[in-house]
Chain A
Amino acid sequence: MNNTPVMIHEALCAVLFWSVFCRSVKADKRVRLSVRFAFMCLGLAACLGMAAPVVWAYQPHPVALAMLAAFAIVQVVTAALWVDGPPAPFIKFRFRNRRRRASDGLPMVQTREGETC
């Protein structure tokens, strides 16, 4: 019996689920509902993917595996954006730290050499 595709499928689904779990741990009610919903859908898909070979004897197609791998890679790569919590665009507007504009007349924050925000 060749279970390799199923095992790869399970591993990729586990990676997806873990990535969603780590993001959900860092999220809270300040995060936009659509973002929370999107990650829950991704987690649901990952869970269904993990259950499918066990419950419905699902056999993954190579194309499905490729798409799953692509999703997993995206999640792993974009994990860097979540190191300090949810990225600013994902936070509801009223909870965001509003950045100062040059026209405010207040001292601006120095971010990089020669660059202000």
Chain B
Amino acid sequence: MPEPTTTSAAAAAITSGSSHTGPGLAALFVAFLGPLAGPYALIVFAALAGSLWPLSGADAMTRTAGAWLMLRCTLTAVVLTAAVSNYIQTRYEVQAGEAFAPVAFLIGALGNGWRPLFAAVTAAFSRIIGGGKANE
């Protein structure tokens, strides 16, 4: 994962002994959770926001079941976001650090929709393979 700008800001706040209010919290997080606290906080909050969409579309459920759904979406985003962002960086020349929030948001918003996604990908592959065979 590339060095995020947030870590530098927090580290600067620690070393300079800044009296601002914001860096205090950021510095606290970095001190407790390490230099990647900022990007991971961003990923978690973006995924939480994204998971509100599948939650609001699911059949009425209890708060516990809703919390589990959000946790599942968020953890999926935490696992996949860095890899997807790095892929985007190599493919489209977008900085991975800038892609964290939108990617995590989209993964969170996907929610339980992975099965249709995989079905679409499989169908696309089938078409490609089928088309390739037809051309031979």
- Which A residues lie at the B interface, using CB under 8 A? 1-6, 17, 20-29, 31, 36, 39-40, 43-44, 46-48, 50-51, 53-59, 85
Contact B56 A31 (CB under 8 A): yes
Number of A-B contacts (CB under 8 A): 109
Are B13 and A28 in contact, CB atoms less than 8 angstroms apart?
A: no
Kindly state whether residue B6 has any CB partner on chain A within 8 Å.
yes
The reply to whether A39 and B25 contact each other, CB–CB distance below 8 Å, is: no
Q: Report if A57-B10 is in contact (Cβ < 8 Å); known contacts: A3-B24, A6-B22, A51-B42.
A: yes
Contact of B37 among A29, A39, A54 (CB under 8 A): A54
Chain B residues touching A, range: 35 or more
A54-B29, A55-B38 in contact; A40/B49 too (CB < 8 A)?
yes
Query: Which residues on A sit within 8 Å (CB–CB) of B66?
Result: 21, 24-25
Which chain A residues border B60 with CB–CB below 8 Å? 25-28, 85
Q: State whether B41 touches A40 (Cβ < 8 A).
A: no
Grouping DSSP codes into helix (H, G, I), strand (E, B) and loop, the B interface class, with mixed when no group exceeds half, is helix
B residues sitting closer than 8 Å to A (CB atoms) are: 6, 9-10, 13, 19-26, 29, 37-39, 41-42, 45-46, 48-50, 52-53, 55-63, 65-67, 70, 105
* Interchain CB contact (< 8 A) of B55 among A21, A54, A56, A58: A21
Give the complex CA separation of A53 and B23 in angstroms. Answer: 7
Residues of chain B contacted by A53 (CB below 8 angstroms): 21-22, 25-26
By beta carbon, the residue of chain A nearest B60 is A28
Instruction: Flag if A58 contacts B22 (CB, 8 Å).
Output: yes
